[in-house]
Amino acid sequence: MYGHHEITHPGVVHAELEVESWYYSFIIGKAGSELRHIQKNWQVKISIPREHSANQNVLIVGEKDQVDRAKAYIEKVLWNAEHNIKAGRDRTEASDDWGDDGAEEPWMQAYLYKR
């Protein structure tokens, strides 16, 4: 049910996350990239439940500190998904913190590029 046992895997722990099924795609990522990223970075095994699984929670198995880190990362990914925050290259918001351009002044003519 948990993918490990104390006798066969000493020192290995697990954490369960109760996640709605529509969030699974955010954990898995495009072609499984996010899932592989989490598993490689924190040396954990993540099990996404299927329709007839005995355990219907997302399961993270590994060493205690790595499981805690992976769990925190997954919670952050899910929070970003819930609040519609995009990260990385495909961000929708491109903010310019330099302020309003304002009107052109005569002294600017030498520095402006005309297309």
Note whether residue 85 is domain-resident: yes
Note whether residue 21 is domain-resident: yes
Alpha carbon dihedral 54, 59, 63, 68, in 10-degree steps, equals -150
Query: Is this model's pTM higher than 0.85 or not?
Result: no
Rounded to an integer, the average pLDDT of 77-101 is: 67
Proportion of the chain above pLDDT 70, given as a percent? 85
Q: How many domains does the chain have?
A: 1
Nearby residues of 53 by Cβ (< 8 Å), 6 or more positions away: 47
Rounded to an integer, the average pLDDT of 100-105 is: 72
pLDDT, tens digit, for every residue of 22-73?
899 999 999 999 999 999 999 999 999 888 888 889 999 999 999 999 999 9
Task: Count CB-CB contacts under 10 A for residue 74.
Answer: 24
Note whether residue 77 is domain-resident: yes
Note whether residue 101 is domain-resident: no
Note whether residue 31 is domain-resident: yes
